[in-house]
């Protein structure tokens, strides 16, 4: 066991899977010699060579589409989109092709590729290096979407994604890369897809969230515990398809639900979480479902104060939990 | 470009020099004829209200069949597009399977009735599944070639698309990727001069689609799409280059779409009957038969027998497919993801 950063956990997962299975290979922009702009593929080019750690032309649809083709041949490609904001040119390949390959061929073909993409704000990234893209892909049956919140989960979920026989979008919070550190076993373990995880047990208020927001919520819960408020925290981990059972039982646990995302509010993944709760356990709620999210503005601006104004802040989360506790 | 083959004693044997036997060219013709006769039957079935939709191959059979013969039909991977009836027959799909596909029945090997007709895909034949947004299959074909290179397998990856499709970003991204990594891909554009109603001149400003090859640093060539021997020669040469590690090739088959875009289209709203009639004079199915007759390979007996064999097979396949069951309604929920037992 050793303490690793979130990005080191990603690199470990890639390295272990490439070592374990000759069919696993990485492709993307700057993933080779440079080791990725965030260094997620650091050292892999030297270890596995340029065919298995392939620098591609700057063309996202080809990165996804060529990855799909290689997966049809029986390989397990891990395609990197340099920033999730840049993956929209690949959206047709992801939505019309990868997600529908198994279905449209009546189970004859499948596309077991993983697409990794850094997302999220708070890094002075401006409109196009800060977005949360998950909601765009979160009503596409055939796709799985994974967003880890800790280094431990990042390694285990990435390994599970690579081994999964269907296409997986794997979003990594770029601010989490070096901010979050935690115990990551050197052993070969996987964290199952499709399962949410209770990150903190509590009795007064339930918070359902994912990604970097889990970190902010846990910090808020820690502070509120000193005031006698007990917070239950559910980390979705796989945000599509959702783990409905865990969502329902987490909501039932306290009867007061706060949903937190750094994505813009309307039509976010949490809108679906709210619908699941409303459909299944409305009468067990003691307060209206509350959401904390980014404002419905196109994307976060570059200038510091504007970026701050856009971002979900830890104080907002703390206040919302407190309001619900007192409701 | 278009060779006129007259039924005269002076016609010389063109296929022997390409290494093709009389049996090979007869087999080519039979596959072309199969595609034509199946296509004709599909229009009848559509107009009789038995099938809701037809997407037609007529006019493009020669290039399709010639291309298939230029590849290794036991090893290579292919991504044919929705007009490639001639190609998929030459590649091993049966008329029965084609009819099941057009009747959208459960037994259809392409998609079990999930996709519209002509959206081919057959893993047993190393034929990729394709969708309706055009040219999305091009990057897949490149991915196949890349995977084969990583695994050290000596295969060719072949993909077709229309000239309208050659304007899509995926065409460009795939071609560039394949060229940069010198991958064994053959891109074959079936230029039928129409993207639904929009004619070639409104689609591209270059003289030939194959002219685009130079921009990618790959070899490009155009050939007469009505001549299966020209298609065979061009594809064979491209495959040889691929095997030698010389990278991808962009081919262009110059042809013509004889029928409307689909059974839902009326082509007389955008082109004239005279134009279509003129194109019919160069129809590959007709001109190749003339060639084979002139060199005494397609005798009257052989031709009659061939037509009869195909007609019987189409009759039986149509009957079978019409009677075959649709997939169970519950199956609509199956195979969204892997189903583990």
Can you tell me the ipTM of this complex?
A: 0.96
Structure tokens at B223: 């050939």
Domain boundaries, chain A: 2-184, 197-326
Q: Which of A62, A102, A165 sits opposite B173 (nearest CB)?
A: A62
Q: To the nearest whole angstrom, how far is the Cα of B163 from the nearest Cα of chain A?
A: 19
Q: Which of A57, A67, A107 sits opposite B335 (nearest CB)?
A: A107
For residue B100, how many other CB atoms are within 10 A of its CB?
23
What is the interface size between A and B, counted as CB pairs within 8 Å?
A: 141
Residues of A in contact with B146 (CB under 8 A): 54, 66, 69-70
Q: Do B114 and A103 touch (CB under 8 A)?
A: yes
Q: Which residues contact B94 (CB under 8 A, 6 or more apart)?
A: B317
User: By CA distance, what is B177's nearest residue in A?
Assistant: A57
- The answer, for A298 touching chain B at a CB cutoff of 8 Å, is no
* Chain A stretch 124-143, residues whose beta carbon is closer than 8 A to a beta carbon of chain B: 141-142
* Topology alike, domains A2-184 and A197-326: yes
- Average pLDDT of the residues in A246-254: 98
Residues of A in contact with B180 (CB under 8 A): 57
Active site residue A124: no
Tens of pLDDT, residue by residue over A128-172, are 999 999 999 999 999 999 999 999 999 999 999 999 999 999 999
| Adjacency order of strands within the sheet including A197-200 | A197-200, A231-235, A205-209, A257-264, A290-294
Tens of pLDDT, residue by residue over B134-160, are 999 999 999 999 999 999 999 999 999
Q: Do A70 and B143 touch (CB under 8 A)?
A: yes
Q: Which long-range contacts (CB under 8 A, 24 or more apart) does A303-310 make?
A: A304/A124, A307/A121, A307/A122, A307/A124, A307/A130, A310/A121
* Residue B306: pLDDT over 70: yes
- The answer, for A193 touching chain B at a CB cutoff of 8 Å, is no
pLDDT at site B4: 52
Q: Cβ distance A125 to A154 under 8 Å?
A: no
Q: Which of B110, B142, B336 sits opposite A69 (nearest CB)?
A: B142
| CA-closest candidate to residue B162, choices B259, B57, B241, B236 | B57
Q: Which of A29, A104, A161 to mutate to test the interface with B (most CBs of B within 10 A)?
A: A104
Mean pLDDT estimate for chain B = 96
Q: Which of B144, B150, B172 sits opposite A52 (nearest CB)?
A: B150
User: By CA distance, what is B151's nearest residue in A?
Assistant: A23
Question: Helix or strand or coil: residue B116?
Answer: coil
Residues of A in contact with B144 (CB under 8 A): 69-70, 72-73
Q: Which of A96, A107, A166 sits opposite B131 (nearest CB)?
A: A96
CATH fold of A197-326, please?
A: Rossmann fold (3.40.50)
Q: How many CA atoms lie within 13 A of B135 on its CB side?
A: 21
- The answer, for A304 touching chain B at a CB cutoff of 8 Å, is no
pLDDT at site B10: 79
* Residue B1: pLDDT over 50: no
CATH fold of A2-184, please?
A: Rossmann fold (3.40.50)
Q: Cβ distance B254 to B191 under 8 Å?
A: yes
Tens of pLDDT, residue by residue over A56-70, are 999 999 999 999 999
Q: How many CA atoms lie within 13 A of A65 on its CB side?
A: 34
Q: Which of A22, A25, A27, A66 to mutate to test the interface with B (most CBs of B within 10 A)?
A: A66
Q: Distances in Å between the alpha carbon of A234 and those of A105, A207, A263?
A: 36, 6, 17
- Average pLDDT of the residues in A292-309: 97
Angle between helices B228-243 and B61-69 (to 10 degrees): 40
Q: Do A70 and B119 touch (CB under 8 A)?
A: no
Report how far residue B295's alpha carbon sits from residue B167's, in angstroms, rounded to the nearest whole number. Answer: 41
Q: To the nearest whole angstrom, how far is the Cα of B47 from the nearest Cα of chain A?
A: 27
User: By CA distance, what is B334's nearest residue in A?
Assistant: A103
Residues of B in contact with A62 (CB under 8 A): 139, 142, 170, 173-174, 176-177
pLDDT band at B341 (very low <50, low <70, confident <90, very high): confident
pLDDT band at B9 (very low <50, low <70, confident <90, very high): low
User: By CA distance, what is A109's nearest residue in B?
Assistant: B123
DSSP code of residue A66: H
DSSP code of residue B339: -
Which of A2-6, A152-156, B7-11 shows the lowest mean pLDDT across its residues? B7-11
Domains observed in chain B: 19-322 (3.40.50.970)
Tens of pLDDT, residue by residue over B96-107, are 999 999 999 999
User: By CA distance, what is B159's nearest residue in A?
Assistant: A69
* Residue A280: pLDDT over 60: yes
Q: Which of B105, B115, B129, B152 to mutate to test the interface with A (most CBs of A within 10 A)?
A: B129
Q: Which of A51, A89, A100 sits opposite B131 (nearest CB)?
A: A100
Q: Which of B173, B180, B215, B248 to mutate to test the interface with A (most CBs of A within 10 A)?
A: B173
* Residue B7: pLDDT over 70: no
* Residue A18: pLDDT over 90: yes
Q: Which residues contact A62 (CB under 8 A, 6 or more apart)?
A: A56, B139, B142, B170, B173, B174, B176, B177
User: By CA distance, what is B145's nearest residue in A?
Assistant: A70
Report how far residue A169's alpha carbon sits from residue A110's, in angstroms, rounded to the nearest whole number. Answer: 15
Tens of pLDDT, residue by residue over A79-93, are 999 999 999 999 999
Q: Which of B76, B111, B123, B143 to mutate to test the interface with A (most CBs of A within 10 A)?
A: B143
Structure tokens at A158: 């990435």
Q: Which of A52, A54, A105 sits opposite B111 (nearest CB)?
A: A105
Residues of B in contact with A164 (CB under 8 A): 338
pLDDT at site B3: 52
Q: Do A62 and B142 touch (CB under 8 A)?
A: yes
User: By CA distance, what is A101's nearest residue in B?
Assistant: B129
pLDDT at site B340: 87
Residues of B in contact with A67 (CB under 8 A): 143
């Amino acid at each position: 066991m050793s303490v690793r950063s979130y990005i080191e956990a990603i690199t470990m997962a890639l390295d272990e899977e490439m070592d374990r299975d000759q069919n696993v290979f990485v492709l993307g922009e700057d993933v080779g010699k440079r080791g990725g702009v965030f260094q997620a593929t650091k050292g892999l080019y030297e270890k596995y060579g340029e065919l298995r750690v392939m620098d591609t032309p700057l063309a996202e649809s080809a990165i996804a589409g060529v990855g799909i083709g290689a997966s049809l041949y029986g390989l397990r490609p891990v395609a990197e989109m340099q920033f999730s904001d840049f993956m929209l040119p690949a959206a047709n390949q992801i939505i019309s092709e990868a997600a529908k390959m198994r279905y449209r061929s009546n189970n004859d073909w499948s596309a077991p590729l993983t697409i990794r993409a850094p997302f999220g704000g708070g890094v002075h990234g401006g409109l196009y290096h800060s977005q949360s893209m998950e909601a765009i892909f979160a009503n596409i049956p055939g796709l799985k979407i994974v967003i880890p919140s800790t280094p431990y989960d990042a390694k285990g979920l990435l390994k599970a994604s690579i081994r999964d026989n269907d296409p997986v979008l794997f979003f990594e919070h770029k601010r989490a890369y070096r901010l979050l550190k935690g115990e990551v076993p050197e052993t070969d373990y996987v964290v199952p897809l499709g399962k949410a995880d209770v990150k903190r047990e509590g009795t007064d208020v339930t918070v359902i969230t994912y990604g970097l927001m889990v970190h902010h919520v846990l910090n808020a819960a820690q502070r509120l515990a000193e005031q006698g408020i007990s917070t239950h925290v559910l980390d979705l981990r796989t945000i599509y398809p959702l783990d409905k059972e865990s969502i329902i039982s987490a909501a039932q646990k306290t009867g007061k639900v706060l949903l937190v995302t750094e994505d813009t509010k309307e039509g976010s993944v949490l809108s679906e979480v709210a619908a699941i709760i409303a459909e299944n356990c409305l009468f067990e709620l003691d307060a209206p479902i509350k959401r904390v999210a980014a404002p419905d503005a196109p994307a976060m601006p570059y200038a510091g104060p504007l970026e701050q104004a856009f971002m979900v802040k830890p104080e907002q989360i703390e206040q919302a939990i407190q309001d619900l506790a007192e409701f | 470009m278009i060779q006129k083959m007259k039924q005269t004693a002076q016609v010389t044997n063109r296929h022997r020099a390409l290494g093709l036997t009389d049996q090979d060219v007869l087999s080519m013709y039979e596959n072309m004829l199969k595609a034509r006769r199946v296509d004709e039957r599909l229009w009848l079935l559509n107009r009789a209200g038995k099938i809701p939709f037809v997407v037609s191959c007529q006019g493009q059979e020669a290039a399709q069949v010639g291309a298939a013969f230029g590849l290794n039909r036991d090893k290579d991977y292919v991504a044919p597009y929705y007009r490639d009836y001639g190609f998929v027959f030459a590649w091993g799909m049966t008329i029965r399977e084609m009819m099941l596909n057009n009747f959208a029945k459960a037994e259809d090997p392409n998609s079990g009735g999930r996709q519209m007709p002509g959206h081919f895909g057959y893993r047993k034949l190393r034929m990729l599944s394709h969708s309706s947004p055009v040219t999305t299959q091009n990057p897949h074909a490149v991915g196949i070639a890349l995977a084969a290179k990583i695994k050290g397998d000596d295969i060719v990856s072949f993909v077709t698309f229309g000239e309208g499709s050659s304007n899509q970003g995926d065409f460009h991204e795939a071609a560039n990727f394949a060229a940069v990594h010198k991958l064994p891909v053959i891109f074959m554009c079936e230029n039928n001069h129409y993207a639904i109603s929009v004619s070639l001149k409104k689609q591209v400003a270059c003289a030939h689609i194959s002219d685009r090859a130079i921009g990618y640093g790959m070899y490009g060539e155009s050939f007469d799409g009505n001549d299966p021997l020209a298609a065979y020669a061009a594809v064979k040469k491209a495959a040889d280059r691929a095997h030698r590690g010389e990278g991808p090739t962009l081919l262009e088959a110059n042809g013509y779409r004889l029928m409307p875009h689909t059974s839902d289209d009326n082509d007389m709203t955008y082109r004239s009957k005279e134009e279509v009639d003129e194109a019919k004079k160069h129809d590959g199915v007709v001109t190749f038969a003339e060639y084979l007759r002139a060199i005494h390979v397609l005798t009257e007996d052989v031709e009659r027998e061939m037509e009869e064999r195909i007609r019987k097979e189409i009759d039986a396949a149509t009957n079978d497919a019409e009677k075959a069951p649709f997939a169970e309604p519950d199956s609509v929920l199956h195979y969204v993801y892997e189903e583990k037992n």
